[in-house]
Amino acid sequence: MKTKVKLIATLIIAAAFLQGCSTPQVNKPADVLFKEGEQFFQDEKYEDAIAQWKKVKETYQSPELSTKAELKIAEAYFLNKDYIEAAAGYEDFRKLHPKHAQADFALYRQGMSYFNQIHSIDTDQTPVKNALTTFTSYVKLYPTGAQLAEVQEKHRECRDKQLQYELYVGRYYLKTDAFKSAISRFEESLKMFADSTRRDEVLYYLGRAYLEDGQKAKGREIFGQLAREFPGSAYIEDANKAMDAFF
């Protein structure tokens, strides 16, 4: 028993001695860590770059480098297609540095991070709403911003995606004979998206919904509006077929 106790004591002392003799961990300066992150970034090793830039922030050595690292981290997430993390990173940067020279770029990239999360029309529409809100903010805050033209284009695309979703839901109501719900959806779409290039499509489905609901006079009225506003629309032929079926 005594031998065993002595052995344990010897091992503890040896471990302590080795630990004391080991080379202590030397922290690298913030500028070195930042440059290493830059090299990883250039090599498209985005996760490694993020790791180095996070260390820059943890050193608390340079507020200027920490600020640069915050934006770089968000950018690395974006280029690595980690759009949820990127959006959060850009938003945090803007909250911490609202007057920064790159604040407009961060807002643009935040919007693009949401935009790149958009999938098909029959999936969650939250990314569309988030992107639209962010692009709207950009136009208001930076009317002469460097990314204004692209932001406006993406804003229009988001609006179109919203209308596509409304049409998707409205058509579903038509298929399931929920005609009044379909009418309500299409009527609201006409108001919300009055300037849309899909307005003729909305009018067609609204007219059909009225006909299906037994409101023939209203259906004829809507199809007449379709013909007047869009005489060259591809939906006029479908409207005529629908009229033939109900009259």
* Each residue's pLDDT tens digit, 184-206: 999 999 999 999 999 999 999 99
Higher-scoring residue by pLDDT: 11, 237: 237
Q: The domain at 177-247 falls in which architecture?
A: Alpha Horseshoe (1.25)
Quote the pLDDT of residue 197.
95
Name the one residue in this structure whose structure tokens are 């943890």: 58
pTM recorded for the entire structure = 0.85
Q: How confident is the model at residue 68 (pLDDT cuts 50, 70, 90)?
A: very high
pLDDT reading at 10 higher than 70: no
pLDDT of residue 247: 82
Determine if residue 99 is left, alpha or beta; phi over 0 gives left, psi from -120 to 50 gives alpha, anything else beta. Answer: alpha
Per-residue pLDDT, averaged over 83-88, amounts to 98
In terms of C-beta distances under 8 Å and separation of at least 24 residues, what long-range contacts does 63-72 make, across chains too?
A: 65/30, 65/31, 65/34, 66/30, 67/96, 67/97, 67/100, 68/34, 69/34, 69/37, 70/96, 70/97, 71/102, 71/106, 72/37, 72/38, 72/41
What's the angle, vertex CA 106, arms to CA 101 and CA 109, rounded to 5?
145
21 pLDDT tier (thresholds 50, 70, 90)? very low
Is the separation of the CB atoms in 153 and 135 below 8 Å? no
| Choice among 170-174, 182-186, 201-205, 242-246 with the minimum mean pLDDT | 242-246
Tens of pLDDT, residue by residue over 133-158, are: 999 999 999 999 999 999 999 999 99
Answer yes or no: is pLDDT of 108 > 70: yes
Kindly state the percentage of the chain with pLDDT values over 70: 89
**All structural domains of the chain with their residue ranges:** 177-247
Query: Average pLDDT, whole number, for the chain?
Result: 91
